[in-house]
């Protein structure tokens, strides 16, 4: 029988659970845990410079690896600093376990120094939370936390641990729990066969079908199965922002991604479809636009692991609750050897879809002329060429995020890492750190803007300490580009507080942290600078590209319209 203190149980559990990295920042209520981590060498602790960065780094690690990210913070401000990252993971269904130190249990409710009811604060933005009442329950509670975070619809779980629960003087029996039982939690492992049969019948009879696939396909590891099914049927496919890479973007059947700034052809195809096969997507408002005008002629099949997401915003004709992988595999076995009912109608549908696609060839944006500022789209296209489309790309939030999603072509899942649901500025750089540590031999790029980068730029210090060689490509337009775009369109170009009037000299700033920075002002400087940036995958390089500040992101859906109502440039709309 092994007797361990609560703090040592935590350290031992993380080892037994196979956790490689824990991202955190120490403080009084968590010090016993920190001491236990110091006395072992299997779990590597990464000391960030702000707790929000710890959650984003763990989040990036989880999105790229598929394993839960792990965070350790202290009570009070340590825990509240982590809230934005917890909400980010919650909105995008990312598995994460956040261990929070708490004041001693006899002080809870006394407004003690650095006390916050973090369970109460985070209740709306976690999948579940636990508060430790006795040290002996630590292994079982942590096992439940990891199980809940990573099964069903994944999400963040908070474990609140009062300091006296980790006291080194009290020891209890430690046994690693191999299994976990939760009476009221039984995530589905397969879809309803009758409903899947109904769905396949509709799929084979459709004349204008479109697949609409989201982050659930990526997190469910169902990309290969999806690709198989879509190719067998020969139907067009579009993805959400979170689903980018679930189906190879270079493939002819892929129409790109859809919604607010999605491609013209994907939005048009969705609007005119007679059947939408939605898998692992939640009909988010950035996709549907006005739900009362959404896809008026379409029947809807909706596959989702979370029963509360099905028919929540748009009614499904065939609802299927189940994991993307097992449902798709069942669909494949039912489709095998069957003919589609209307091949001639499908041929006509493809003619229409290809017509929409051809309409926009060469019209996506105006390339920069001699002596003009570089267009942000040109930067992303060049970046894609230089890295052969094989990098992990994280983004912050704004115009640069949309340009990265539009012009970098992803043929694999888990490669495009962005804050979709919450839209968190500051996410990209720490997320890139978390990915680079898990995939040191890959190129990891953070595409950012000067507004977002300044929210988490202190993490340059973390990269210095741990030798994390991420690439940072800053599309510098000296303004909050997406805010300014909305002000141009809706506020007669009254740019209220959207210009960054006192930017740092990024080259000097980056060099002060001990890294290389390059500045690019003309198109002919761009490709050589990118080659230099990616020459050594273990070196952190900051590429500061001065881009055209007047450029807008198009297409852009017209607010409160249908999916086909889009602005295509500053002068044309559908």
Please give the Cα distance from 108 to 412 (Å, whole number). Answer: 48
Residues whose CB is less than 8 angstroms from the CB of residue 121 and which lie 6 or more positions away in sequence, other chains included: 79, 80, 83
390 belongs to the catalytic site: no
Q: Which domains does the chain possess?
A: 3-173 (3.40.50.970), 193-359 (3.40.50.1220), 376-553 (3.40.50.970)
Closest of 388, 385, 406, 404 to residue 396, by C-alpha: 404
The C-alpha atoms of residue 346 and residue 353 are separated, in whole angstroms, by 10
- Selecting among 9, 13, 51, 268, the annotated active-site residue is 51
What pLDDT does 533 receive? 98
Backbone angles phi, psi at 447, to 5 degrees: -90, 120
Query: Hey, which bits of 104-253 come out as E strands?
Result: 128-131, 156-162, 172-173, 209-213, 237-239
Are 383 and 360 within 8 A, CB to CB?
Answer: no
CB 102 within 8 A of CB 108: yes
Minimal CA–CA distance to 507: which of 537, 535, 529?
529
Q: What SS3 class is residue 207?
A: coil
**Per-residue pLDDT tens listing for the chain (574 residues):** 899 999 999 999 999 999 999 999 999 999 999 999 999 999 999 999 999 999 999 999 999 999 999 999 999 999 999 999 999 999 999 999 999 999 999 999 999 999 999 999 999 999 999 999 999 999 999 999 999 999 999 999 999 999 999 999 999 999 999 999 899 999 999 999 999 999 999 999 999 999 999 999 999 999 999 999 999 999 999 999 999 999 999 999 999 999 999 999 999 999 999 999 999 999 999 999 999 999 999 999 999 999 999 999 999 999 999 999 999 999 999 999 999 999 999 999 999 999 999 999 999 999 999 989 999 999 999 999 999 999 999 999 999 999 999 999 999 999 999 999 999 999 999 999 999 999 999 999 999 999 999 999 999 999 999 999 999 999 999 999 999 999 999 999 999 999 998 999 999 999 999 999 999 999 999 999 999 999 999 999 999 999 999 999 999 999 999 999 999 999 999 9
Whole-Å CA distances, 555 to 369, 397, 498, 573:
22, 17, 22, 9
Q: What single DSSP character describes residue 568? A: -
Q: C-alpha dihedral over 267, 270, 273, 276, to 10 degrees?
A: 170
CA angle 477/480/485 to nearest 5° reads: 90
* Catalytic status, residue 383: no
Provide the pLDDT for residue 501: 87
**Of the residues 67, 127, 163, 471, which is catalytic?**
163
Encoded tokens for 375: 């267009």
Which helix (H) or strand (E) is 58 found in, with range? helix 51-65
Question: Which listed residue (15, 20, 114, 454) is catalytic?
Answer: 114
- Spatial distance between the Cα atoms of 379 and 351, rounded to a whole number of angstroms: 32
Rounded-to-integer distance, Cα 501 and Cα 401, Å = 22
Task: Tell me how far apart the alpha carbons of residues 496 and 503 are, in angstroms, rounded to a whole number.
Answer: 17
Task: Establish how many alpha carbons lie within 13 A of residue 290's alpha carbon, considering only the half-sphere containing its beta carbon.
Answer: 12
pLDDT, position 503: 95
- Find out whether 557 and 294 touch, Cβ atoms under 8 Å: no
Picking from 376, 350, 79, 90, the residue whose alpha carbon sits closest to that of residue 234 is 350
DSSP 62: H
For residue 351, what pLDDT is reported? 98
- Catalogue the E-assigned strands of 290-368: 299-304, 318-321
What's the DSSP call for residue 292? G
Q: What is the pLDDT of residue 1?
A: 87
Long-range contacts, stretch 336-345, CB < 8 angstroms, 24+ apart: 336/232, 338/204, 339/204, 340/204, 340/206, 340/233, 340/234, 341/204, 341/205, 342/205, 342/206, 342/207, 345/207, 345/208
| Residues forming beta bridges with residue 22, ordered by sequence position | 45
Which one-letter DSSP state was computed for residue 452? Answer: H
Helix (H) or strand (E) holding 566, with range, is strand 566-567
**Please, are residues 114 and 77 in contact by the beta-carbon 8 Å criterion?**
yes
Question: Could you tell me which residues come within 8 angstroms of residue 183 by beta carbon, excluding any fewer than 6 positions away?
Answer: none
Q: How many alpha carbons fall within 13 Å on the CB side of residue 315?
A: 5
Give me the catalytic one of 113, 224, 390, 465.
Answer: 113
Phi, psi of 501 (to 5 degrees): -90, -15
| Cβ contacts of 140 within 8 Å, gap of 6 or more | 177, 180
Alpha-carbon dihedral 272, 275, 278, 283, rounded to 10 degrees: 50
Cα separations in angstroms, 524 against 147, 201, 275, 379, 529: 52, 55, 47, 11, 9
Q: Quote the pLDDT of residue 494.
A: 97
Rounded Cα gap, residues 396 and 388, in angstroms: 22
> Are 460 and 433 a contacting pair, CB within 8 Å?
no
| Alpha carbon separation from 120 to 83, 116, 194 (Å, rounded) | 12, 9, 41
Residue 76: left if φ>0, alpha if ψ -120 to 50, beta else—which one? left
- List CB contacts of 566: < 8 A, sequence separation 6 or more: 264, 267, 554, 555, 556, 557, 558, 573, 574
- Choosing from 96, 270, 457, 482, the catalytic residue is 482
Active site (annotated) includes residue 113: yes
Task: Output the pLDDT for position 174.
Answer: 98
| Model pLDDT, residue 110 | 96
pLDDT of residue 558: 96
| Residue 163 designated active-site | yes
- The three-state secondary structure class of 242 is coil
Evaluate if pTM is beyond 0.85. yes
- Determine contact, residues 49/465, Cβ cutoff 8 Å: no
């Amino acid at each position: 029988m092994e007797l361990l203190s609560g703090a040592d149980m935590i350290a031992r559990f993380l080892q037994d659970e196979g956790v490689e990295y824990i991202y955190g920042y120490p403080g009084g209520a968590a010090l016993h845990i920190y001491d236990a981590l110091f006395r072992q060498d299997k779990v590597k602790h990464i000391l960030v410079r702000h707790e929000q960065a710890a959650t984003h780094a763990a989040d990036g690690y989880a999105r790229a690896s598929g394993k839960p990210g792990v965070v350790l913070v202290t009570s009070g401000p340590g825990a509240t600093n982590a809230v934005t990252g917890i909400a980010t993971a919650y909105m995008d269904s990312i598995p994460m376990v956040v261990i929070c130190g708490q004041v001693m249990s006899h002080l809870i409710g006394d407004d003690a120094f650095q006390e916050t009811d973090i369970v109460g604060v985070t209740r709306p933005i976690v999948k579940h939370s636990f508060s430790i009442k006795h040290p002996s329950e630590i292994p079982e509670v942590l096992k439940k936390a990891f199980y809940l975070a990573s099964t069903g619809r994944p999400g963040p779980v908070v474990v609140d641990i009062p300091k006296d629960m980790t006291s080194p003087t009290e020891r209890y029996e430690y046994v690693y729990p191999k299994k976990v039982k939760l009476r009221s939690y039984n995530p589905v492992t397969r879809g309803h066969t009758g409903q899947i049969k109904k769905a396949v019948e509709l799929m084979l009879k459709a004349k204008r079908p479109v697949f609409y696939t989201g982050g659930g396909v990526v997190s469910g590891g169902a990309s290969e199965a999806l690709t198989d099914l879509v190719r067998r049927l020969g139907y067009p496919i579009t993805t959400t922002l979170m689903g980018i890479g679930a189906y190879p973007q270079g493939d002819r059947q892929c129409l790109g991604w859809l919604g607010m700034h999605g491609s013209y052809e994907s939005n048009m195809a969705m609007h005119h479809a007679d059947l939408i096969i939605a898998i692992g997507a939640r009909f988010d408002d950035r996709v549907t636009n006005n739900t009362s005008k959404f896809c008026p002629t379409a029947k809807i099949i909706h596959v989702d692991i979370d029963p509360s997401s099905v028919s929540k915003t748009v009614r499904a004709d065939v609802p299927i609750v189940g994991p993307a992988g097992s449902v798709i595999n069942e669909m494949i076995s039912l489709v095998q050897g069957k003919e589609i009912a209307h091949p001639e109608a499908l041929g006509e549908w493809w003619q229409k879809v290809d017509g929409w696609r051809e309409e926009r060839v060469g019209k996506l944006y105006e390339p920069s002329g001699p002596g003009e500022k570089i267009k942000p789209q040109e930067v992303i296209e060049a970046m894609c060429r230089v890295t052969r489309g094989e990098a992990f790309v994280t983004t912050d939030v704004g115009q640069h995020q949309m340009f990265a999603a539009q012009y970098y072509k992803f043929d694999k899942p888990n490669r495009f890492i962005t804050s979709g649901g919450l839209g968190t500025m500051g996410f990209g750089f720490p997320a890139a750190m978390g990915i680079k540590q898990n995939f040191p031999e890959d190129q990891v790029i953070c595409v950012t803007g000067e507004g977002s980068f300044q929210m988490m730029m202190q993490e340059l210090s973390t990269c210095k300490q741990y030798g994390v060689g991420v690439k940072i490509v800053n599309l510098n337009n000296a303004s909050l580009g997406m805010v300014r775009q909305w002000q141009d369109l809706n506020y007669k170009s009254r740019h209220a507080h959207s210009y960054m009037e006192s930017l740092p000299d990024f080259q000097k700033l980056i060099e002060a942290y001990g890294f290389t920075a390059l500045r690019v002002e003309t198109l002919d400087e761009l490709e050589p600078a990118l080659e230099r940036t990616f020459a050594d995958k273990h070196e952190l390089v900051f590429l500061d590209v001065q881009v055209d500040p007047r450029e807008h992101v198009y297409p852009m859906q017209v607010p409160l319209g249908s999916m086909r109502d889009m602005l295509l440039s500053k002068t044309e709309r559908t």
